[in-house]
Amino acid sequence: MVMAEEEESGVSIQLEFPKGRVKKIMALDKDVKRVSSEALFLVSRSTELFLQFLAEKSAQVAIEKKRKTVNLEHIREAVKRHQPTRDFLLDELPPPSQPTKPDRPTQPAGRPKLDPPPRGTRRIDLFFRKPELDDPAQAQPPENPAQAQPPENPDQDQAQSPVPVDES
């Protein structure tokens, strides 16, 4: 049958799946004792054809939905459209997820909304902004010198203050 067609056409069909792995998978069935080379060829080739069919139908669904990438929902839809495949495969697919994206995004895609920072902290981007002179609290020094905050590092305070240097 298949072997006769190969001899007539002179073209040999190369299998995509490793024979050893397919044989191991077939041997997982308790009813299978030994696997002939013809059975191995037929199961492997049938699997290739089925996966090709499923990939083509899933790609067709993705194109209909104007998507460039095939995802699980496209595969599920392709399985639902083909009765023989639906009968055995639909129950084996993972359950459908919740709607992934709303029709209209509620906020810009570039920056997701974050929770407010904890009390006593500020955002890192505020550190790099120039202080605005419109705010009188930032533009003027505190009136009471006791309210001025001392520098965190006392060495910095000494480096900034004019101290006579003895060069002798």
All domains of the chain in start order, with CATH: 2-92 (1.10.20.10)
For residue 1, pLDDT over 70 is answered with no
For residue 116, pLDDT over 80 is answered with no
19-43 b/e (C-beta count within 10 Å ≥ 16 → b): eeebbeeeeeeeeeeebeeeebbeb
E strand residue ranges, the chain? none
For residue 140, pLDDT over 90 is answered with no
**Which of 97, 29, 85, 31 shows the shortest CA–CA distance to 56?**
85
Task: Band the pLDDT of 90: cuts 50, 70, 90.
Answer: confident
Count of Cβ atoms closer than 10 Å to residue 45 Cβ: 15
Using CA atoms, how far apart are residues 61 and 76, in angstroms rounded to an integer?
10
Residues 6+ apart with CB under 8 A from 13: 2, 6, 45
| Range with the poorest average pLDDT among 12-16, 54-58, 73-77, 83-87 | 12-16
Using CA atoms, how far apart are residues 76 and 83, in angstroms rounded to an integer?
12
Report field, pTM of the whole predicted structure over 0.85: no
Which DSSP state fits 66?
Answer: T
